[in-house]
Structure 1
Amino acid sequence: MEVFPAGVMVFPTVPSDPSGVRWRMAKINLISGFLVLLYASIIRTHATDTLSANQILRYNETIVSPLETFELGFFNPGNSTNSYVGIWYKKISNRTVVWVANRNTPLTDTSGELTLTFQGVLILRDATKGNVVWSTANSSTSKSSMRTPIGQLLDTGNFIIYDEGDSINQEDPIWQSFDFLTDTLLPGMKHGWNLVTGTERSYTSWKSDDDPGLGEFSYWIDTRGYPQLILSEGGEIKLRAGPWNGLRFTGTPTLSPNRFYNFTFVINQREIYYQYNLIDTSVITRLVLKPSGRLDRLLWIDRKQEWSLYWSPQYDLCDQYALCGPFGNCNIEKSPVCECLKGFEPTSPDQWKTTDWSQGCRHTIPLDCNPGEGFNKYSNLKLPDTRGSWYDQTMTLIECEKMCKRNCSCTAYTNSNISGTRSGCLLWFGDLIDIKTNAENGDTLYIRMPPSELDSIANGKSSGTGRVQVIVPVAFVVLTILISMCLFYRFNMKKQQQQGTPRSVNEDLELPLFGLRTILKATNNFSMNNKLGEGGFGPVYKVML
């Protein structure tokens, strides 16, 4: 190339190409290159629903479920600059995250890389530092004959890892995000326990809107006795939604059927869990535990482009765990709210008067395992804490009462399932904790009482199991005995006179006379243990003179 004055450039002469071959080849190469770039661009922008072994997912790259319902990738929560791997709704403008992988180990920049290994382990690395931030290594099911592990995001919001060569792949995944809840319960998620693997599925609030780390509040299923739903704060029980009664949790009377979703609670040898599923599949709903501890059921309103509150449990002062102490009942309609159940009295009257109810209540007449002990029926209650309780899902209520009565440490019983014909048996032992009056949709509880405190005896009414018991007042028994003795004496006197052989009073009276004090002592105050039966003149007692 020759140099000419400033501003002028002269290019070397290109050899002539009479046939135009070179020009056509250049044109073909140009078009081919453009197509390659276009294809690569499409591959980068169109995310698939799977993650293959050794494939790397980086910041600003995502995978999307088949119907584009959910999306998985990196995100920054709220105003935070920290980076997390999560799952959110794809078609909702207001990004709503429903699951977080590394919630307690955030990335401080955008150097994160998510990879699936050939062993089926999902690993999140910090590419800058080269360290592993989070992985499923300790929570994946081991597969000795694994061939081709695949990670797939489903339209349920569940990310699963399975062996592509396994015929039951998606039904028996190596790992799934649904087993590790964050703060959200989606349709189809199981909240509870897998008893075979020992996996607990509970959800915990975020620390704040900017931090998805483990917060203070957690909803979980307690299986130490009959399963019950508990909300804890900082490791301590804040309130109990209570045990499942076949229709709802006993502490959430407002939980009822609706046209959007149904719900169930499953108890068997393999699993114990609560679950809800959509009736109307066009509805987008989620159950979320807020950083404040509030549990909200939200519905997405597309027209308004916002989440709307559909349902939230209505808690009050009486939902505070064990507020009224053992055998104490909390009634929000009364002031003060704590009271002792009928047949009970404050354990510490002085403290009770100052609204210190921690000591609770005790039986007015202590139990002593007397065979005459029975059960009073209490209605419209939130059932007591079931930790340490016993249950059988097949027994009848009558069988349940008999079992409780045979065990002197059994303090109460009820049906475990009130739906349909009522079935199942639930027994309590020791103190009854955290009882509350539910004016609407309350449950029935049968509490053990001494003979003199039984409603069925005092009122002559049938008990909860349909049997009728009758009590004869002591004065009436004594009067009956005296009248019987007088009638016997007169009968003997009349007989003697007819035979013409009158005798003295002491000779005619063959039975000795006893005072009331002697009779009470001889019958142990007319104890049920001394009762032999009943005849035309009333009860018959065995005496020890």
Structure 2
Amino acid sequence: MTKIKLIFGFLVTLYASIPRSRAADTISANQILRYNQTIISPQETFELGFFSPPNSTNHYVGIWYKKISTGTVVWIANRNTPLTNTSGELTLTLQGVLLLRDATTGNVVWSSANSSTTSVRNPIGQLLDTGNFIIYEGDDTNQENPIWQSFDSLTDTLLPGMKAGWDLVTRMERRYTSRKSNDDPASGEFSAGVDIRGYPQLILTEGREIKFREGPWNGIRFTGAPNLRPNPIYNFTFVLNDKEIYYQYNLLSSSVFSRVVLQPNGRIERLLWIDSKQEWILYLTPENDHCDQYMVCGPYASCNINKSPVCECLKGFEPTSPEQWTVGDWSQGCQRTVPLDCGNGEGFNKYSNLKLPDTQGSWYNLKMTLVECEKMCKSNCSCTAYTNTNISGSGGGCLLWFGDLIDIRTFADAGDTLYIRMPPSELDSVENSKRSSARSRVRFIVPVAFVALIMLLTICLFCRYNRAKQQQQATYSNKFRHDPENESGDEDLELPVFGLSTILTATNNFSANNKLGEGGFGPVYKVFYHSIPSM
């Protein structure tokens, strides 16, 4: 018994002394990854290996979450070419290409593309904690420009840091595509990406048909996504230059997990991981109501979910088919009440709080001002509308439409402004309500202003009269105060003081002819105003 205990203790000590190794995060050239073998990112956030979906006998190479939501696949290499057995082998070649072979037949099931223009000497494949699997030159410490990366081959999930859009240098498009079903990860009918047939805009397509349009970027958000606002979960950006056009988002905290998924039913969902519940919850979806469907109301009509019916013609337009319009068939949209003739009197009416029309076939310039934009549109008879490309700050840029304006909706607020070309008569009719309101204000303001003016003039005249009277009294007082014989008198007295010579002159030397009588203070004489010197 004692010997058994000693042997058991020795084995335990020996096992404890063996260094434990964790799965590597890299794969080297000619190294083979087989079934039940995986590559794990440095912080064990993601894992790469072989998997089989529920209710399926097919096998795939994919990347999934490791720590949270174990088994939630975010990327699949061979989604359209599955393995039918577990004999698959994943190899990195000396040329820096990933190859997936069926070991039983030797056939290549899937391979990555080497986008590098330089020769490869020591390729290394690595799984990052972002979920991106990159292949890079082993001697190159800068991994910003890898030979190949899984982030360039999107499946049905848009992870933080992924770019949905275009590389204009290589003409590579990055779109994410739905699965056929939850059990079949093959490419489905729905696809989301950036449409660059005009001013770039985010669209969701079913086959070749547009199902939903998130609209162009306006410097703050996409015009058809008013709910895309700054938040504590993630930030977002849209890059548009001569090399790249793409949308991207990044999480603000490493403890938060969020992903965008294009579901098999064509619904785009932003999901958020709730650790306390151990489940993904729906955080946001860009499609919320009937007005989000593409071109519900037809040309020159706007969809307003707060009205019934939801479709209405823009001001200056009328239903193309009144009969169909009244029965709820808005597919033909609206037409101009008065056609354009490219006359000199044509101008533009302002429409606010809109989702901007479909930008296919549009033209844009990111450096022009709004005034220059209006002039350019007015000089081209084919131009039907214009607006800014950037509403942030003081605004800027120019976006022109040619032809019909389609897929417009009205928001309660946070919408964009559009300037639509109109004939002279419709410029007046659209402004009638504003002018009527202005006339009402004038009818109220003018009488009030007139009464106020009369009162002001009355006050001014009264003040002027008082000032003149005071000046007259002051002049009269000063004439007496400046008598030469009265210079020694008190200038502060209100009554004038006269010298003896002045009194003698005024009374004709106290002549009896001037005497009027006597009182308690002595004799009283009459004098004449003109007889007083200096008066």
TM-score, length-normalised on structure 2?
0.76
Whether 1:437 aligns to 2:413 is no
Cα displacement (A) at 1:334? 2.2
Q: Which AA in structure 1 matches 2:254?
A: T
Cα displacement (A) at 1:352? 2.3
Cα displacement (A) at 1:192? 0.6
Q: Which AA in structure 1 matches 2:353?
A: N
Distance in 1 (alpha carbons) for counterparts of 2:387 and 2:219: 13
1:123 match: secondary structure: strand
1:390-539 equivalences in 2 (<5 Å): 390-455=363-428, 458-459=431-432
Cα displacement (A) at 1:89? 1.0
Whether 1:307 aligns to 2:280 is yes
Whether 1:95 aligns to 2:68 is no
Distance in 2 (alpha carbons) for counterparts of 1:85 and 1:455: 65
Aligned to 1:256: 229
Whether the 8 Å CA contact 1:391–1:425 is kept in 2: the answer is yes
Aligned to 2:33: 57
Whether the 8 Å CA contact 1:455–1:461 is kept in 2: the answer is no
Whether 1:229 aligns to 2:202 is yes
In structure 2, relative to structure 1, the CA distance for the partners of 1:207 and 1:460 (3 Å cut) is closer
1:350 match: secondary structure: helix
Distance in 2 (alpha carbons) for counterparts of 1:135 and 1:389: 38
1:242 match: secondary structure: strand
Whether 1:209 aligns to 2:191 is no
1:320-335 equivalences in 2 (<5 Å): 320-335=293-308
Cα displacement (A) at 1:226? 0.6
2:377 match: secondary structure: helix
Aligned to 1:127: 103
What are the ranges of 5 or more consecutive residues in structure 1 without an aligned counterpart?
A: 1-30, 463-545
Cα displacement (A) at 1:125? 0.3
Cα displacement (A) at 1:167? 4.7
Whether 1:140 aligns to 2:114 is yes
Distance in 2 (alpha carbons) for counterparts of 1:326 and 1:180: 36
| Residue deviations 1:252-276 (CA, integer Å, cap 9, x gap) | 1111111121101110001001111
| Residue deviations 1:62-89 (CA, integer Å, cap 9, x gap) | 0111111111000111222211000011
Cα displacement (A) at 1:423? 1.2
2:186 match: secondary structure: strand
Distance in 2 (alpha carbons) for counterparts of 1:440 and 1:458: 21
Whether 1:219 aligns to 2:195 is no
Aligned to 2:455: none
Whether 1:152 aligns to 2:126 is yes
Cα displacement (A) at 1:346? 1.6
> Which of residues 83, 91, 99 is equivalent to 1:107?
83
Distance in 2 (alpha carbons) for counterparts of 1:266 and 1:145: 30
Aligned to 1:9: none
Whether the 8 Å CA contact 1:94–1:306 is kept in 2: the answer is no
1:238 match: secondary structure: strand
| Residue deviations 1:453-503 (CA, integer Å, cap 9, x gap) | 1149854979xxxxxxxxxxxxxxxxxxxxxxxxxxxxxxxxxxxxxxxxx
1:318 match: secondary structure: helix
Whether the 8 Å CA contact 1:324–1:338 is kept in 2: the answer is yes
Distance in 1 (alpha carbons) for counterparts of 2:119 and 2:60: 32
Aligned to 2:337: 364
Greater CA drift, 305-314 or 379-388: 305-314
In structure 2, relative to structure 1, the CA distance for the partners of 1:421 and 1:144 (3 Å cut) is closer
Greater CA drift, 453-462 or 272-281: 453-462
> Which of residues 56, 60, 79 is equivalent to 1:80?
56
Aligned to 2:257: 284
Cα displacement (A) at 1:311? 1.6
Whether the 8 Å CA contact 2:316–2:430 is kept in 1: the answer is no
> Which of residues 44, 47, 58 is equivalent to 1:71?
47
Q: Which AA in structure 2 matches 1:152?
A: Q
Whether the 8 Å CA contact 1:66–1:155 is kept in 2: the answer is yes
Cα displacement (A) at 1:207? 1.2
2:91 match: secondary structure: strand
Larger Rg: 2
Whether the 8 Å CA contact 1:183–1:289 is kept in 2: the answer is yes
Cα displacement (A) at 1:102? 0.2
| Residue deviations 1:296-350 (CA, integer Å, cap 9, x gap) | 1112122221112222224222222112211122222222222211111122223
Q: Which AA in structure 2 matches 1:386?
A: T
Whether the 8 Å CA contact 2:214–2:286 is kept in 1: the answer is no
1:182 match: secondary structure: coil
2:185 match: secondary structure: strand
Distance in 2 (alpha carbons) for counterparts of 1:83 and 1:460: 67
Cα displacement (A) at 1:172? 1.2
Distance in 2 (alpha carbons) for counterparts of 1:443 and 1:143: 44
Distance in 2 (alpha carbons) for counterparts of 1:330 and 1:198: 35
Whether the 8 Å CA contact 1:216–1:234 is kept in 2: the answer is yes
Whether the 8 Å CA contact 2:95–2:119 is kept in 1: the answer is no
Q: Which AA in structure 2 matches 1:105?
A: T
Whether the 8 Å CA contact 2:180–2:188 is kept in 1: the answer is yes
Q: Which AA in structure 2 matches 1:181?
A: L
Aligned to 2:150: 177
Count of residue pairs brought into register by the alignment: 424
Cα displacement (A) at 1:95? 1.4
Distance in 2 (alpha carbons) for counterparts of 1:93 and 1:374: 58
Q: Which AA in structure 2 matches 1:157?
A: G
Distance in 2 (alpha carbons) for counterparts of 1:219 and 1:382: 19
Whether the 8 Å CA contact 2:267–2:287 is kept in 1: the answer is no
Distance in 1 (alpha carbons) for counterparts of 2:216 and 2:313: 22
Whether 1:380 aligns to 2:353 is yes
1:245 match: secondary structure: coil
Whether 1:162 aligns to 2:162 is no
Q: Which AA in structure 1 matches 2:29?
A: A
Distance in 1 (alpha carbons) for counterparts of 2:40 and 2:306: 52
TM-score, length-normalised on structure 1?
0.75
Distance in 1 (alpha carbons) for counterparts of 2:429 and 2:312: 22
Distance in 1 (alpha carbons) for counterparts of 2:216 and 2:69: 38
Q: Which AA in structure 2 matches 1:306?
A: E
> Which of residues 243, 267, 270 is equivalent to 1:297?
270
Distance in 1 (alpha carbons) for counterparts of 2:430 and 2:161: 50
Q: Which AA in structure 2 matches 1:72?
A: L
Q: Which AA in structure 2 matches 1:135?
A: S
> Which of residues 79, 94, 106 is equivalent to 1:118?
94
2:291 match: secondary structure: helix
Whether the 8 Å CA contact 2:159–2:260 is kept in 1: the answer is yes
Cα displacement (A) at 1:119? 0.7
- Aligned-residue sequence identity (percent) comes to 73
Aligned to 1:472: none
Whether the 8 Å CA contact 2:261–2:268 is kept in 1: the answer is yes
Whether the 8 Å CA contact 1:376–1:455 is kept in 2: the answer is no
Q: Which AA in structure 1 matches 2:282?
A: L
Distance in 2 (alpha carbons) for counterparts of 1:241 and 1:314: 9
Whether 1:267 aligns to 2:240 is yes
Cα displacement (A) at 1:38? 6.4
Whether the 8 Å CA contact 1:376–1:456 is kept in 2: the answer is no
Q: Which AA in structure 1 matches 2:424?
A: P
| Residue deviations 1:514-536 (CA, integer Å, cap 9, x gap) | xxxxxxxxxxxxxxxxxxxxxxx
Whether the 8 Å CA contact 1:242–1:249 is kept in 2: the answer is yes
Distance in 2 (alpha carbons) for counterparts of 1:418 and 1:93: 40
Q: Which AA in structure 2 matches 1:49?
A: D
State the Cα RMSD in Å: 2.2
What are the ranges of 5 or more consecutive residues in structure 2 without an aligned counterpart?
A: 1-10, 436-535
> Which of residues 345, 349, 355 is equivalent to 2:328?
355
